[in-house]
Amino acid sequence: MRIYEDLRAVQTRVTVIQYVAVALVAFLMIAFWHLQVVRGRYYRNLAENNRRRNVPIAAPRGILRDRNAAILVDNRPSFNVVLSPEQTLNLDRTIGKLSHLLQIGEAPIREKLPRRGAPPRDIVVKADASRADVAAIEARRLEFPEMAIHVVPLRSYPLGAAAAHVLGYVGEIRGDQLQRANYHGATAGDIVGQFGIEERYNSELMGKDGLRVVIVNSRGAEVGEDKELSSAPAVGPSVTLTLDAGLQSVLERAFAGRSGAAVAIDPNNGEILAMTSVPAFNPNDFAVGIDAAGFRRLQNDPEKPFVNRVTQGIYPPGSTFKLATAIAALEERVITPETRIHCSGIYEKYGRVYHCHELGPHGSVNIEQAITASCNVFFYEVGVRLEIDRLARYAKMLGLGIPTGIDLPSEAAGVMPSREWKRERRGEDWYPGETPMVAIGQLSTVTAMQLARVVAAAATGKRVTPHLVKSVGGKNVPVTSPLDLGFRPETLQVVHRGMRGVTSPGGTGWRAGLPGVPVCGKTGTAQVVGKARLAKDSSADVQPHGWFIGFAPAENPTIAVAILVEHAGGGGKAAAPIAQQLFAHYLGVKLPPAPGAPVPVVPEPAEAEPAPTAAPTPAVIAGTAP
C-alpha cells in the first residue's frame, strides 16, 4: 500500500488550474462591470422601452350641429375585434376560430397580419362588429386570450345620405394629404375628413389623440398602465352649421327620385340653410372603411355621386341669366322701366336670325313683362345695347362665373364669357353676334351656388358670401359681410315685379307660388343637346335641365333658393315645386294637401324657352375645381 505518493508535479499543475479559474472569474467581473456600470444607463433605457408600449387612443372628432343645435354628425362607440398574433400559441387555430365565429374568410384575416420580421402589433380583424360577434368573442376570452374587443369612436351620420356633400365623410388619411395644412397633426393611419365640411374643417374637428402607455410582458400582453405618461384623448370642438335640419329634410324629400342640385340661403347674410346634391352617397358607408371595390364603383358611377352638384356641377344658367341682363340694362340706363320692345318671335341682327321661344311672339313688352314671359327678343335687344363688356361686368359683379367663396373644398368657377376671356382663352376677337346669346343665358356656365348668390343679390341689392359654418367650439367664425352693389331701388323693384309675375298664376314658375305670400322667381332651361337632336331623341337623358331661382317673401326676403333638376325638361315643372316646399316650410305657410292641386286659370304655359338657332351648350359637370 502506497501511503505517500509523490504529488509535487500534480500540485504544480493544480496551481495552474487555480489561477486559470481566478483569471476567468476576473475576466467575467470586468465584462459585467462594463455591461452593468459602464453601459448600465443604455441597457436601462432598452429595458424600459422593452416593457412600455404606446397605444394611441383615437380622439372623437367634433360633433356637427345645425343652426338649431340638432345633431347632424355624431360619434358612436363601435366594437373592433382585435387579434394580437404574437400572443397566440397556435395562429392557424385562432384564425380558423375567428373566421368561423365572425363568418369571414381566413384570407382577409391573414392579409392583415404583420409581415414576418416586422414588430408585433395588434390587427383589427373586424371593425364595427355586431353585438352577436362581440358576444361570441367575449364568450371565448379564456380560451383565446389573444382576441380582444376594442371600443373605438366611429363617425355616425344620423341623416344618412341627406346633405352628404355638405357634411362629407371620413376615411384613413392618404399619403398626399399628410403635408396639407388642414391635416396638420395627423399621422399615417389616422381617420380624417375626406369631403365637405369634414375635409374643410378637418383640423378644427380633429381632437387631440390620447395615449395609453401600457406595460407589456414579453408576449405583448398588457399587464399594467403607466398612468403618469398616459393622457386622455381630447374631443374635437363641435361645429355649428348654418343648415336647418328641418328644411334640409324637406328638401331631401322634395328631391327624392330626381337628380340635380338645390341650395337655400339666407339672402341677407349668405348663411346656407339647406343644400343637396343628388345622387348622393351615404357617409356611414365609409365610416367603417368601405371596401375598395365599392368605393371604385361609386367613383366610376356615370352619375358621379361624389360631385357636389351645387358647388362643383357647372351648367348653363339658361333664362335665369336674364335677371343679370335686366339689372345691367336698368342700371346702365340702356332702357327705362317703361321702354317697350316689340317681339315678333324673331330677332334679326348681324346677319343672323335669333328666335324667341315657343310661347312667343309676345308683342310689345316692357322689362317687367319681359322677365315674367322670359321674352328672348327683348333681352337680345337689351344685350346688344349693353354690349358684352358691360353685360359681363354686371354678371360677374353679381357672382356669375366666379367662385362664391363658400367654405367647402374644390369649388368650381364656371365661365362668364367676355371680350377679354375670349381673347385669352381662344385667341379670338369677340364676335358681336354672340352677345345676344349671352344676354339670354347661353355660352356661360355657372353653378347653382352662384345662381343662389345672384338671386339673393337681386333680392337685396347686396352680394353675400355663402357659408356653412356658424361657429367652431362656440366661437363665431368670421364671415365676409355682404357687399352693397349700389343698385338703385327702382331697378330692384322693377325686377321684383317681373319675378313676382313668374310665380303668379300663368307664370312659368307658378308652382313655386305660396298662398298669401308673394314670391319672386325665375325659371330657366339648360340645354343638354341641340334642338334638332331633341326632336328626334325623346329619351330622358337628353332632356334639358330645369332651373328655378327665387326668394320669398317678395318684401324683406328671408330665404333665397337655386334649384336645378337634371333632365327635367324645364324649370317650372320640376324645380319650382321644390322651391315652393322650401318656402312654405321656412316661412311656416301651410300648403294645400294634394300635390299640384291648384288648377291654373289660364292654360299651362310650356316650360320656359328652348334656345334659338345657336349651337347648344352641353351641361358640364366638373369633377374637381378648375
Partner 1 sequence: MVDRRLLFNMDWVLLGATVLLCIIGIATIHSATYTGHNAGLYVKQIYFVLIGLGALAVSLVADYRRLADRSPLLYLLALAALLAVFFFSPTIANVRRWFRVGPVLVQPSEFVKLAAALFVAKVFAEAKKDTLGVTDIALPGIAIGVLAALIAKQPDLGTAFCLVPLFLTVAFLAGLRFRTIIGLAVLSMILVTAAWQSPLIEDYQRTRVRIFLGLKDDPQGAGWQSRQSVIAVGSGGLTGRGFKEGTQSQLGYTPARHTDFIFSVLAEETGFVGVVVVLGLYLLVLWRGLETAHLARDRIGAFLVAGIMGSFIFQVIYNVAMVGGLVPVKGLPLPFMTYGGSSVLSSLLAIGLVLNVRMRRFAN
Q: Which residues bind partner 1 (CB under 8 A)?
A: 1-5, 7, 9-11, 13-15, 17-18, 20-22, 24-25, 28-29, 31-33, 35-37, 39-44, 46-48, 50-51, 117, 215-219, 223
Q: Which CB sits closer to partner 1, 2 or 131?
A: 2
Q: Which CB sits closer to partner 1, 118 or 594?
A: 118
Q: Which CB sits closer to partner 1, 11 or 130?
A: 11
Distance (Å) of CA 175 to CA 154, 168, 172, 182 = 22, 19, 10, 14
Residue 50 CB, shortest distance to partner 1, in Å, is 6
Residue 216 CB, shortest distance to partner 1, in Å, is 7
Residue 150 CB, shortest distance to partner 1, in Å, is 22
Q: Which CB sits closer to partner 1, 37 or 181?
A: 37
Helix (H, G, I), strand (E, B) or coil at 50: helix
CB 599 within 8 A of CB 428: no
Of 512, 621, 528, 597, the C-alpha closest to 569 is: 528
**DSSP state for residue 314 in the 8-state scheme:** E
Residue 210 CB, shortest distance to partner 1, in Å, is 24
Distance (Å) of CA 601 to CA 21, 357, 508 = 121, 22, 13
CB 52 within 8 A of CB 226: yes
Q: Which CB sits closer to partner 1, 28 or 135?
A: 28
Q: Which amino acid is at 560?
A: A
Distance (Å) of CA 100 to CA 95, 105, 137, 266 = 8, 8, 11, 55
Residue 20 CB, shortest distance to partner 1, in Å, is 7
Using CA atoms, how far apart are residues 343 and 334, in angstroms rounded to an integer? 18
Q: Which CB sits closer to partner 1, 91 or 149?
A: 91
Using CA atoms, how far apart are residues 527 and 443, in angstroms rounded to an integer? 11
- HEC states along 578-599? HHHHHHHHHHCCCCCCCCCCCC
Q: Which CB sits closer to partner 1, 50 or 130?
A: 50
Q: Which CB sits closer to partner 1, 10 or 135?
A: 10
Q: Which CB sits closer to partner 1, 32 or 431?
A: 32
Residue 35 CB, shortest distance to partner 1, in Å, is 5
Residue 51 CB, shortest distance to partner 1, in Å, is 5
Grid cell at residue 361: 311672339
CB 342 within 8 A of CB 349: no
Using CA atoms, how far apart are residues 429 and 418, in angstroms rounded to an integer? 10
Of 238, 255, 73, 76, the C-alpha closest to 164 is: 73
Using CA atoms, how far apart are residues 562 and 545, in angstroms rounded to an integer? 13
Q: Which amino acid is at 521?
A: G
Residue 49 CB, shortest distance to partner 1, in Å, is 9
Helix (H, G, I), strand (E, B) or coil at 429: coil
Q: Which CB sits closer to partner 1, 217 or 493?
A: 217
Residue 86 CB, shortest distance to partner 1, in Å, is 9
Of 618, 604, 542, 579, the C-alpha closest to 318 is: 618
Q: Which CB sits closer to partner 1, 122 or 407?
A: 122
Q: Residue 561: enclosing H or E segment and its boundaries?
A: strand 559-565
Going by their DSSP bridges, the two strands 462-463 and 483-484 should be labelled as antiparallel
Residue 2 CB, shortest distance to partner 1, in Å, is 7
Q: Residue 37: enclosing H or E segment and its boundaries?
A: none
Residue 13 CB, shortest distance to partner 1, in Å, is 5
Q: Which CB sits closer to partner 1, 27 or 431?
A: 27
State the virtual CA torsion across 25, 27, 33, 35 in degrees, nearest 10.
Answer: -110
Residue 10 CB, shortest distance to partner 1, in Å, is 5
Q: Which CB sits closer to partner 1, 18 or 336?
A: 18
Residue 106 CB, shortest distance to partner 1, in Å, is 24
Strands of 510-558 (E only): list them. Answer: 520-526, 545-552
Q: Which CB sits closer to partner 1, 30 or 625?
A: 30
Angle between helices 419-426 and 376-398 (to 10 degrees): 80
Residue 97 CB, shortest distance to partner 1, in Å, is 23
Distance (Å) of CA 471 to CA 156, 159, 205, 302, 401 = 21, 21, 12, 36, 29
